Amino acid sequence: MNYDRVKILIAELEADGLEKVKENLRHNHYSPPWKILYVEEWIKGKEAPTYLYHEFKAPTGQTFKAHEVPKLKKQGWVDSPAEFGKCIKSETTRSKITVVAFWKQKWKWMLGVIATIIGLYIAFLLL
C-alpha cells in the first residue's frame, strides 16, 4: 500500500466533510476495495464518542461525536476537569474586553454619575 495515496485520500475526506463522505460511500464513489475500508474506518473515527467537560455547562462531563470536538474546544470544553484552571487566562481576557466595551458604550453616563457623586461629596463637606 502506498502511504502517499492514503494521505491524499484522508486529505480529500477531511476536505469533503463527514456528511458528503457518507453520501459518496452510499453511492459507491470509492471504487477500489482498499479505499472503501479506509473511508469506513475514517467515518468510524469521526463518529466515535468523545467525553468532554465544561466548567459551567457540564462539570461532570458530556459525550459528543469526535467531529464536533474542534468547535467545542473553541467554546471552552476541555478533555479533563484538571484543565479548567488553564482557561482562567482566557476568562480574564474576556472580562477585560467586556469592561472596556462597557466603558466605550456608557462613558458619558458613567462620567455623569462620577461628577454627581463628587458634587454631592463637596456639597456635604461645605455644609
> What is the pLDDT at residue 69?
81
Q: Are 19 and 45 in contact (CB under 8 A)?
A: no
Helix or strand holding residue 51 (H, E): strand 49-54
Kindly report, residue by residue over 21-73, the tens digit of the pLDDT: 888 888 888 778 888 888 888 888 877 778 888 777 777 888 888 778 888 88
- For 96, list phi and psi in degrees, rounded to 5: -65, -40
**What is the reported pTM?**
0.45
Residue 74 has pLDDT above 80, yes or no: yes
CA torsion, points 64, 67, 70, 76, in degrees to nearest 10?
Answer: -10
Report the candidate in 93, 23, 81 with the shortest Cα–Cα distance to residue 56. 81
